Amino acid sequence: MTTLSDFYALISAEVNKGTRFDATIPQKVKQAVQFFERNYSFAYMEASLEYTISATANPARRADLPSRFKLPIWHRYKKDDGSLIYLSQVSGEDVSKHEDKAPTGYWIEGRSYIWFDNQTDEDLSAEFYHYAFSDYTSWSPATENLWLIDNAEALVIAQTMVYLAPTARESGWIEAYGGMVQTELNTTIRLDEDLRSADADLFMNYGRVR
């Protein structure tokens, strides 16, 4: 697998200006990955939080969102008999009353909290499947197993070069690499769709594999 240090070296070679911009490259690589994660939700960004919907939550009906949360996918809890109950995502404005029973719906407040329509009278074992951003704060030169870099290297290189263009005073890079971004992005989206399709087939036959 490619480490970030290896990838920074590839960018430096692409820039072809010695070591002049090496100190800037890590920040531009992070910005490139952030750009794609903000604008697209790839399969590798799927994450699962297992937690307890508490009967004694304070304030009532509230739980913390997982770290690096982007978007919800599904939310469910398990009953004592093992059956799974899926919660609907609703608008808090549409909830006319709160009852002391298991929730049926939830909504998101900013990037901090999950709110439920009802206050459960017993602890519920829940799972919140969602999209999450990468943990950029943990990145170091030795970091590896970054999906976009391992599977869409040319895409991240091209977007990084677009972001480096103003710093390097190379306005021509924006057009040259901008076209490459779109070509490589289309390829990456198709790859992501293939992975989702393969996952769906496995899920149908063997249950969820993520």
Last residue of one domain, picked from the residues 132, 158, 192: 132
Q: What is the pLDDT of residue 197?
A: 86
Mean pLDDT by 10 residues, the chain (210 residues): 94 97 97 97 96 96 96 96 96 93 96 96 97 95 95 98 97 96 96 84 42
SS3 per-residue string spanning 46-59: EEEEEEEECCCCCC
Residues 39 and 143 in one domain: yes
102 and 142 inside one domain: no
Position 152: which residue type? Answer: A
37 plus 88 within the same structural domain: no
Q: Which of 111, 132, 153 is the last residue of a domain?
A: 132
Cα–Cα dist 161/16, whole Å? 11
pLDDT tens-digit map of 55-113: 999 999 999 999 999 999 999 999 999 999 999 999 999 999 999 999 999 999 999 99
Please tell me whether residues 12 and 54 are part of one structural domain.
Answer: no
Residues of the domain holding 50? 45-132
Last residue of a domain, one of 75, 101, 132: 132
Would you state the pLDDT for residue 32?
98
Q: Are residues 145 and 165 in the same domain?
A: yes
- Show the tokens assigned to 190: 């198709």
Domain count across the chain? 2
Contact in structure between 125 and 78 (CB atoms under 8 Å): yes
CA distances to 9, 57, 156, 164 from 25, rounded to whole Å, are 9, 45, 12, 8
Q: Which pLDDT score is estimated for 198? A: 75
Pair 35, 88 in one domain: no
